[in-house]
Structures are given as C-alpha cells and as structure tokens.
Structure 1
C-alpha cells in the first residue's frame, strides 16, 4: 500500500495536517526569525522571497505538513515527507522541519517525529533525514531520536558556497527498539 505523505497525525500536544496556501502568513511569522535558520545551510530563509520559494516548493511536493499546537490550534512549525521510494521495502525522507523558538527544548520535536516515524513505518522499512553538516542543533536532535549517520552525503551549492548534507537514517527495527519506542 502506498504511503500517504500528507496524513493528519495527532500527538498529545500537536496536530500535523496537510499544508495549505492559507498557512503561508502564519508560517512566515515563525520563519522570519533569523534564529530559526542560524545553523541551517539555507541560512537566509527568513527573507520573504527565500521563504516564499520554500513554501511554494513544499506545497508542490505533496508531502508538507503544518504543525499546530493543540492548546490554541496555532501553527508552530512545518515538516515534510519527501523522496518516497516504495522499492526494496520502501524508504521515505523526513525533513524541512522547523519549529517556533518558543517550542524549542520542550520535547515537541521528538513527539512530532515519533508520530511521523510510526506513520512512515506502516509503509516503509527505512526513513532518511538529510541535514547540513554544520547544523548541530538538528544533528543532535536526530541522534536523540535514534537516527544514525550513514557514510553517505550530498554536495550542493547555495549562494556560491559548498553545502554538505549528511544522510541519517532510522530503520523500522531500530525505531521499535530505540528511544522513541
């Protein structure tokens, strides 16, 4: 059965639902804070034009999700299922995640990732994550949920500079016995 990359997922404190055009301004309010992107390879996503391109790409991807806090039903972030390949047990990428700074350090990212991984493992054997090599906040967050850095990486360029994305992964078996189990 193909993986639904835009499910509605509920956790104790969050609702993840398909991203909609109407979410643009609320998400930009969060994304316009440069602190959100300080370690990210696309460090200027706080700029309106850069954010709008990111948002448009997310809408077109068919896998973007708005993250809402249940206490007030307000958007507090974004995440995405992407690069789905059903072959050989299946793999999907989770990424493009950012949360409002007021949500940092409160356990919301692992709560969200637990739900996303549980959903993904209903249809795939492996979940991959790509993260900028200097994005230590995201790398630490991935390692805390049990993702393991592989020996694979991808090279890109942004504003004339080389960008290295490291590839992390979690298998279904590792998830079932890992820190989010």
Structure 2
C-alpha cells in the first residue's frame, strides 16, 4: 500500500508530509485547543511537537492536508501500522486540523479520501483514539467507524492512557459511500 499518496478531493490536496511543512503545521499545533481532549495534551509545546513531527516523517505514512484553492496547510494525518496479512489492515490517525476548520466538513472529506485509497489495498482500517477525546470519537462515528471491543493501555507523563480502537471494513465503507452518493 502506498502510505504517502497524493489524493485530491473537491476542496483538499492530501500529500506526503515533508520537512518544509514543519513550521506551518507547528503554527496550527501550537494552539493548546487542538490538543485539549487528546491524551498527549501537550503537543502544542515546541519540543513535544517536533518529536511528534519527526515521528510522522519517519513513519513513512505522514500526510499534509492543504486547501486545494489556496494551498494553505490545514493540518496533518497519517497512515500507520500497515499489515498486509489476512486481507490487509492499516491504521489512520494522528490527525489534527486548525480549529478554524473544525465543523466545516474538512475532516470527513479528508477521511473519506484516505479510506477510499486504503480500501484499494486493505480490507480493514483501524483508528486508535483516546477514550476522553470525544471530538475525535464523534468524528469517527460520523464517518461510519465502529468502536471495537479492543483497546490499548499506555502511560504518558506517569498517567494511564486508554486508546479505544475503532474500525471500518471495506464492505461497510462501500455501503456508506453508496448511501452518500444517493
């Protein structure tokens, strides 16, 4: 699976994350509101963001989301944890958008494009989201992702972090896409 494609939608260009995107993305990420519900709530701090950005570059799946008309960077997302076995699974996550674009349909438009690309290769897409990140949980449910019975436990700054695992299958996405186009 190509985890750094260039995808275009009506309003967006989704393309490979590159070093030159660092400052524009930090300008977005430096707003604490972006991370207020996230378990890693301090990514607005320069050093924490830089480590996060470096992980995105190293992952081989980091993406930048830009406005198609203006070229303005709106945020970032990532394909990660690709496993080609048993029909294939990939994770989509690490998404953040500038707050001025929240509630404007950017996230679902981006995620639908990423899902359509993923389902050309895999049968299942997973999302890991912090249990208290209700904004992201609601956004996932709005695009048809379903909370599984699986979860992961981690520690961050000495505190327990629970990540819930949401998923959507190729078949479920196909059904949702056909309903959306009607």
DSSP-derived class of the 1:152 partner? strand
After TM superposition, give the deviation of residue 71 of structure 1 in Å.
2.3
Per the alignment, residue 16 of structure 1 pairs with 14
What SS is found at the alignment partner of 2:120?
coil
Query: What TM-score, normalized by structure 2, do the two folds share?
Result: 0.97
Unaligned runs of 5+ in 1: none
Quote the residue 2:144 is aligned against.
Answer: 146
For 2:118 and 2:126, the matched residues in 1 are separated by 11
How large is the RMSD of aligned CA atoms in angstroms? 0.8
Distance 1:69 1:56 in 2: 23
Distance in 2 separating the partners of 1:162 and 1:173: 34
Distance 2:130 2:39 in 1: 6
Which whole-Å CA distance do the structure 1 matches of 2:47 and 2:116 have between them? 34
Query: Residue 78 of structure 1 aligns with which residue?
Result: 76
Deviation sequence 1:48-85 (CA, Å, 0-9, x none): 00000000000000000000011210111000000000
Q: 1:123 aligns with which of 109, 121, 124?
A: 121
Aligned residues: 179
> CA offsets per residue over residues 136-172 of structure 1, 9 Å max, x none?
0000000000000000000000000000000000000
The runs of at least 4 consecutive aligned structure 1 residues that moved more than 3 Å come to none
Residue from 5, 9, 20 that aligns with 1:7? 5
What is aligned with 1:164? 162
Q: Deviations over 1:97-124 (max 9, x none)?
A: 0000010000010000110000000000
